[in-house]
Structure 1
Amino acid sequence: MIERRKLLGLGLGVLGASAVGPMAAFAQSKLGISDPIADLLQRQSDLPEGMPAEDLSFPAAPVAAPVSQVRPASHGPRWLKLHNIHTQEKLEAVYYEKGEYVPDAVQALDKVLRDYRTGDVYSMHPELFDTLSTLAEKTETKSHFQVISGYRSPKTNAMLHERSGQVAKRSLHMDGKAMDVYLEDVALDRLRAAALDLGRGGVGYYPVSNFVHVDVGPVRRWSGS
C-alpha cells in the first residue's frame, strides 16, 4: 500500500488496476482512426526538439540505473504535482525523501505520465522529476504542472511520425527523458527562463501552443510555435 503521506492528491484511476485495461483498449482503438487529441499533440509536442528532424535519431538510451541507486545531492524531501490534461488525473507526491527515491511515489508518477493512447507505462528518468521539482521551487508555483506530453511509446511515435515529417523518428519522450508542460499560475516566458537558468538538458519554448519542453538530454535551447 502507498503511504497516505507520500501521495496526497491522487486522481481517480491513477493506481486503480481496473482503469488500466479499458484506458489502454480505448487508446489502442484510436490509433487507427482520426484522433483529435493526437492532432493537437502533433501541432504542439511533436515538433523537432531543438535541431533538424534528420538529426533527431538518438541512439538507444542506455539502461538507467535503478531508482534506488540514483542520488541527488540534496537529501531533503522533494515534491512534485502533476495533472495529465488528457486523462484528468492529478497527483501530488513526495517522491524523494531521506536520501532515497520513494518507489511507490515514483511508480505513481510514471503511471500519470504514461502514453495515454496505448496505456504503456515507462520508467521515467528520475532526473526529469528533479528538474520539475526545482522549477516548481524557482517559480514558487502553487499549481500542478499541466502535462501535455510525457512518455510516448514507439507505436504512438511511429504513428505521429507517419502523419508529419516534423515528428522525430526517435524522441527523448520515448526514453522517458522529456515532458511538455505549463503552469497555470506562472507566465510561460518565466517558466522558460527558469528552465534555462538551470542549465540542464533541452528547453523548447512554444508560446503559441502554450508549453515548455524540458528534457534531460544534451543542453540546448530553441523556440517553436
Structure 2
Amino acid sequence: MDARLVSEPSRLPQLSRRGLIGGAALGGIAALMPLPAMAAGSEWRLAIRNVHTNETVDAVFARSGQFVASGLAELNHGLRDWRTGEVTQMDRRLLALLVQLREKLDLSGRSKIELISGYRSPHTNAALRARGGAHTGVASTSQHMLGKATDIVVPGVTLDKLRGAALALGGGGVGYYPRDGFVHVDTGRVRHW
C-alpha cells in the first residue's frame, strides 16, 4: 500500500465523551500493535461522512507503522450502527483497505467517503433481513456485524469505477448495488456479486 498520506489529524466535533471513551477502550490494544507496510513518518487517514446522520470523521488512524488510538476511536464511532448507536471495533484491515481504495482512485487523504452502512448490530441486521425489499440481500451472518464491511459511495466517482477499483485491490468481498446507489467493500474472503 502506498503511504503518501501526510497531513495533520483533525477531531470529530460531534463525538460524545462516552463514545470516545468506549471507542478508545475498544481500540486501546490495537494501538499497541504495529501496522505493516507503512513507511516511517507517514500517516494513514480516513475522511468519512455518514449520509444518514451527516456526521463527519476525518482521523489519522496510523502513524509511522503504529495505530493511533484516538483516530481508531473516532472511526469506530463514525462507522457505528447509526440506527442503534452501538459501536464496535472496526477491522483495521478494512480501514487500511479503504485508504488503499481511495489511493487507487487517486484521491487526496481528505477526500470524503460517503458511508451508507458500516457496523450493523445483530438487531439491525435481523430487522433489515425481515424487512426485505431492497435489503433482500442482507446476509444472516453479515460482515457488517463483524465490523469488517462498509457500503460506500465516493463523490465524483461513478459506481462502476468504484467497483472496478475495489475488485482490482482483491482485499475481500465487493458487492455492486447500482439500483441502491452504493458499493459494498469488506475484508472477508475474496468474492464479488
**CA–CA separation in structure 2 for the residues paired with 1:77 and 1:102:** 10
TM-score, length of structure 2 as denominator length: 0.82
> Pairwise mapping of residues 1-225 of structure 1 onto structure 2 (< 5 A)?
5-7=8-10, 10=12, 12-13=13-14, 15-17=15-17, 66-67=29-30, 68-75=32-39, 76-142=42-108, 143-164=111-132, 166-222=137-193
Q: Distance in 1 between matches of 2:157 and 2:149?
A: 20
Q: What secondary structure sits across from 1:181 in the alignment?
A: strand
Q: Where does the alignment leave 5 or more consecutive residues of structure 2 unmatched?
A: 1-7, 21-26
- Structure 1 residue 109, shift from structure 2 partner: 0.4
Instruction: Report how far residue 155 of structure 1 moved.
Output: 1.1
- In structure 2, do the counterparts of structure 1 residues 111 and 192 end up closer, same or farther at CA, with 3 Å as the change threshold? same
Q: CA deviation at 1:18?
A: 7.6
The share of aligned pairs that are identical, in percent, is 44
Q: Deviations over 1:55-83 (max 9, x none)?
A: xxxxxxxxx99423252212331121100
Q: Give the Cα–Cα distance (whole angstroms) in 1 for the partners of residues 179 and 148 of structure 2.
A: 23
Pairs aligned (count): 172
The structure whose Rg is larger is 1
Distance 1:65 1:128 in 2: 17
Q: What is the distance in 2 between the residues matched to 1:197 and 1:19?
A: 35
Runs of at least 4 residues off by over 4 Å: none
Alpha-carbon deviation of 1:17?
3.4
Give the TM-score of the pair, scaled to structure 1: 0.71
Q: Deviations over 1:96-132 (max 9, x none)?
A: 1011010000100010111111110000000000011
